[in-house]
Chains A and B, each alone.
Chain A
Amino acid sequence: MTFYLTYVLVATALFAFTALFTLFALYSERKISAFIQDRIGPMEVGKYGTLQAFADIIKMLQKEFIIPTAADKILFILAPIVIFVSVYLGFAALPWAPGIIPSSLNLGLFYIFAILSIETLGILMAGWGSNNKYALLGSMRSVAQMISYEIPAGVALISAVMIAQSLNLQEISIKQGILAAEQVYFLGVWEVKSVGGFLAWNIFQAPHLILAYIIYFIASLAECNRAPFDIPEAESELVGGFHVEYSGLRFAFIFLAEYSMMFLVGMIGVVLFLGGWNTPLPNIGSAKLALWTSGIGWGIFWILIKTLTVVAVQIWIRWTLPRLRVDQLMSFCWKVLTPLAFLCMLFSGLWRLGVMQ
């Protein structure tokens, strides 16, 4: 019985974390975008506008649930639930610290990738169930974008998995720091297991993984429907995207799913390429910085800092770059990212055979 209680508590904690993170990300997005555009952003609600996100959530919660008359009721009502739950379930296999992981699956990465694909289904349901040709068009484009970009993302991730030899995210994190079971080589030559720090991260263990990380980062921006790949979202400014007919709490769920997904893909990138919960400080001689800054609390701190930096870069990119046209988007994916990703995978295989024993 206590088992079930633990499960419920962990699930509630993860949900509370996604909700709080969304509020924080909303506020920081508005402030960062404001500073980039030489303005101030929210300042009235709370000191420096910190309570603005809460005001927005309260506003969204008290709005009326409108369902268009000719909409397919079942699809319409289920779509936001499917979108949010699929993203939320992805959090179950992410490691937060040595020993702290909700579920240490042997095929953790495979599970996360598969369950993120269900979001595509939710978007289709939203677009079709709205009974609105613009919503349908927006959702078709979104689905095309998401499933095309899953290929370079997946192949880039496989390049990292080949170096780490495991799909279990906790094991991948362990192998990138001072707690590793076997030897860790910087650029394949220098033994850094006792030094730790950023030298032990995957992108420095095998340098072609820097390219793989860039490919994964760009593909993950497309997965989240974030600029510059926000054709599905931007239609909302022009005509209507897949969520045009949604109001109140249902819209809030889709919104929550988008920000949680930003965090999720950021965290996957951090775990696989940037060392997960390992500290970036190396052991320099007698100042054993890596040893002092490792542990459960430190692990959570480091992974949060790294993921929040990745999210800040995502926000920075959104407010800098113009939107890609849908044909440019597809051409970029299939003609540039996919061949590069396959090259990375090939190189990973050669690296594994030739350099690492």
Chain B
Amino acid sequence: MIRKVLLAFRTVFKGLGLTMKHFFAAGESRKVLSITDQDYFAQNSGMTTIQYPHQKLPVPEVGRYQLDVEIDDCIVCDLCAKICPVDCIDIESIKATEAIGKTSDGTTKRLYAAKFDIDMAKCMYCGLCTVVCPTECIVMTDTYDRSMPDLKEMIYKFSDMKPEEAEEKRLALDKLNAERLAAKEAAMHQKTQN
């Protein structure tokens, strides 16, 4: 019984010494080093807190964080929207009446993107959309701390078509379709007549 009490006191003093050591080591603040640094794990005493946002850990340039879309390179193939596991990409396409132009790597564009919304709040940063994109227009940048007060502001709109333009293109498409239909009917009529 007495031995237990003495053991208790000995261990209590050992523990108190340990905490006192940590208390006095609190003067050393943490060196903010990048993970690629050789001495990242070298410091083993002192504070472990990094006071964000006053201090930030450096992010490598190839960091895979928030998505960014180069809309001029997009051929509106809808592959990224189809593969997204959380359905955060919303695309609405309008077929063009003729070839619009070429992307930076030579692919012909035949579709307009009337709506290209990515809900950054839903995005889970898996990167599958960047893998399937044929023209590599959707990429992951190294921005990670963009935060908004309203959830609706987290839906990023990448399409640069105004609603009137979209309407105009739709009407053009409808007109082309109607003309083609009329031409087809005329041809059929001709055939039956002959």
Q: Which residues of A contact B (CB under 8 A)?
A: 32, 34-40, 43, 316-317, 319-321, 335-336
The answer to whether residues A320 and B23 also contact, given A38-B47, A39-B48 and a CB cut-off of 8 A, is no
CA of A316 to CA of B18 in the docked complex: distance in angstroms? 11
Contacts of B22 in A (CB 8 A): 35-38
- Nearest-neighbour CB distance to chain A for B11, whole angstroms, equals 9
Partner of B5, one of A37, A321, A336: A336
Contacts of B5 in A (CB 8 A): 336
Contacts of B49 in A (CB 8 A): 38-40
Query: Chain B binding site: helix, strand, loop or mixed by DSSP?
Result: helix
Q: Which residue of A lies closest to B22 (CB)?
A: A36
- Nearest-neighbour CB distance to chain A for B15, whole angstroms, equals 5
Interface set, chain B 28-76, CB cutoff 8 A to A = 46-49, 51
Report whether A316 and B47 are in contact in the complex, using a CB–CB cutoff of 8 Å.
Answer: no
- Nearest-neighbour CB distance to chain A for B124, whole angstroms, equals 30
Chosen A-B contacts, 14 in total, with CB atoms closer than 8 Å, are A34-B26, A35-B22, A35-B26, A36-B22, A36-B23, A36-B26, A38-B26, A38-B47, A40-B51, A317-B16, A321-B12, A321-B15, A335-B1, A336-B5
The 0/1 profile, CB within 8 Å of A marked 1, for residues 122-138 of chain B is: 00000000000000000
Report whether B51 and A316 are in contact in the complex, using a CB–CB cutoff of 8 Å.
Answer: no
Partner of B51, one of A34, A43, A321: A43
Contacts of B48 in A (CB 8 A): 38-39
Interface set, chain B 1-32, CB cutoff 8 A to A = 1, 5, 12, 15-16, 18-20, 22-23, 25-26
Contacts of A36 in B (CB 8 A): 19, 22-23, 26
CA of A35 to CA of B22 in the docked complex: distance in angstroms? 7
Q: Which residue of A lies closest to B20 (CB)?
A: A316
CA of A94 to CA of B43 in the docked complex: distance in angstroms? 48
CA of A37 to CA of B15 in the docked complex: distance in angstroms? 13
Contacts of A43 in B (CB 8 A): 51
Report whether B26 and A316 are in contact in the complex, using a CB–CB cutoff of 8 Å.
Answer: no
Q: Which residue of B lies closest to A337 (CB)?
A: B5
Contacts of A319 in B (CB 8 A): 19
Report whether B46 and A38 are in contact in the complex, using a CB–CB cutoff of 8 Å.
Answer: yes
- Nearest-neighbour CB distance to chain B for A187, whole angstroms, equals 23
4 closest Cβ contacts across the A-B interface?
A35-B26, A320-B19, A36-B19, A40-B49
Contacts of A32 in B (CB 8 A): 23
CA of A320 to CA of B1 in the docked complex: distance in angstroms? 23
- Nearest-neighbour CB distance to chain B for A343, whole angstroms, equals 13
Contacts of A335 in B (CB 8 A): 1
Q: Which residue of B lies closest to A39 (CB)?
A: B49
Most-contacted residue by chain B among A39, A40, A336 (CB, 10 A): A40
- Nearest-neighbour CB distance to chain B for A166, whole angstroms, equals 32
Report whether A40 and B19 are in contact in the complex, using a CB–CB cutoff of 8 Å.
Answer: no
A35-B22, A36-B22 given; name 7 further pairs at CB < 8 Å: A37-B22, A38-B26, A38-B49, A39-B49, A316-B19, A316-B20, A319-B19
- Nearest-neighbour CB distance to chain B for A40, whole angstroms, equals 5
The 0/1 profile, CB within 8 Å of A marked 1, for residues 80-123 of chain B is: 00000000000000000000000000000000000000000000
CA of A43 to CA of B22 in the docked complex: distance in angstroms? 19
Contacts of B25 in A (CB 8 A): 38
Most-contacted residue by chain B among A38, A319, A336 (CB, 10 A): A38
